[in-house]
Amino acid sequence: METTSQLYWPACLTDPTGRRERKPRSRGKTMVIDKGLGLRAFEDMLDASGEHIDLIKLGFGTSPLYPPRVLARKIALARAHGVDIMPGGTFLEVAVQQNETKRYFEAVIRLGYTAMEVSDGTIDLDRGLRSDLIREGVNRGLMVVTEYGKKRPGSRIDVERLIETIRIDAACGAALITVEGRESGVGVGFYNEKGRAEESEIEEVVQQVRRPNLILWETPLKSQQVQFLNLLGPDVNLGNIAPEDVLSLEALRRGLRSDTFGLGCAAGRAKLEERLLPAGEE
């Protein structure tokens, strides 16, 4: 089935990389963080770029702050566009702290969310409880996205612990494991104070994880999106994308911007595939 854009433009111009999957995608997913869009802005975003969005996170603990009709409408709009939607992981951390996880799950299902995030960016979450929360979400029919990494400024990612977390979370049923980058993308996780990731660490993770497409990298800054796309290719999963950046990120994925222009040429694709070969396929 042709996409709307392909009805007007030839495929070689729509996607010079020749690699972009249509939804539902198994790789190259884009997660948008919504920090409080109004309904009209939310609907406009989906009308203009819903084809390129796989998951929307209503950031932090904003979910209970919306008027009920607005929250219900957002969830319905996302589902109508084939986009999964979930509350931010911090909200589940509040539920854990308040010993209200049962009612949290009940509300998530009742409201119609299709996904949930399990994180411990602010609290310390026992490994056993983390696994139980993942399994509970899966058992309730939700897509479970987990997150690894602390939100404190200066917090760094331990590569070996990340790899172990990916392995266990995936075994419990997590569909994606997010690597913390916050909405700032600076001085946290793999990012230094200038917002750049150490590529040797990223490559080490990818090489050691049997299914790299389980990983979703938070890349709120354009420079980070460019870095990961040039390093890992257009099939990399990227998250914490601002609503206004969805189309510009999609252009980067397809080699339709100068920053990733090489992804759309035969030589660039061959070089990338050679670089990624040791990581293997799913």
Residue with tokens 């884009």: 30
In this model, does residue 181 exceed pLDDT 80? Answer: no
In this model, does residue 199 exceed pLDDT 60? Answer: yes
| pLDDT score, position 268 | 53
Question: Domains (ranges, CATH) in the chain?
Answer: 22-275 (3.20.20.70)
Position 155 confidence tier, pLDDT thresholds 50, 70, 90: confident
- Which is higher by pLDDT, 117 or 149? 117
In this model, does residue 219 exceed pLDDT 60? Answer: yes
Q: Helix or strand or coil: residue 87?
A: strand
Position 186 confidence tier, pLDDT thresholds 50, 70, 90: confident
| pLDDT score, position 99 | 97
Query: Residue 173, exposed/middle/buried by CB under 10 A (0-12, 13-18, 19+)?
Result: middle
Position 3 confidence tier, pLDDT thresholds 50, 70, 90: low
Q: What is the average pLDDT score of the chain?
A: 90
CA distance 94 to 231: 36
List pLDDT tens digits, range 105-142.
999 999 999 999 999 988 999 999 999 999 999 999 99
List pLDDT tens digits, range 32-55.
999 999 999 999 999 999 999 999
Inter-residue contact 175 to 168 (CB < 8 Å):
no
State the number of CA atoms in the 13 A half-sphere of 216 facing the CB.
27
| pLDDT score, position 280 | 44
**H or E stretch covering 146:** strand 143-148
| pLDDT score, position 187 | 72
Does residue 141 come out as left (phi exceeding 0), alpha (psi in the -120 to 50 range) or beta?
left
List pLDDT tens digits, range 68-104.
999 999 999 999 999 999 999 999 999 999 999 999 9
Encoded tokens for 232: 């890992």
The arithmetic mean of pLDDT across residues 170-176, rounded, is 98
The arithmetic mean of pLDDT across residues 171-189, rounded, is 84
DSSP H helices in the chain = 11-14, 39-49, 68-80, 89-97, 101-111, 127-139, 159-172, 199-208, 222-232, 246-253, 266-276
Inter-residue contact 234 to 208 (CB < 8 Å):
no
- Which is higher by pLDDT, 3 or 220? 220
Position 26 confidence tier, pLDDT thresholds 50, 70, 90: very high
The arithmetic mean of pLDDT across residues 260-277, rounded, is 64
The arithmetic mean of pLDDT across residues 192-219, rounded, is 92
| pLDDT score, position 277 | 52
Inter-residue contact 29 to 55 (CB < 8 Å):
yes
Q: How many CB atoms within 10 Å of residue 1?
A: 4
Inter-residue contact 239 to 28 (CB < 8 Å):
no
CA distance 178 to 12: 32
- Which is higher by pLDDT, 2 or 60? 60
Q: Which residues pair with 115 in a beta bridge?
A: 143
CA distance 77 to 47: 10
| pLDDT score, position 94 | 97
In this model, does residue 1 exceed pLDDT 50? Answer: no
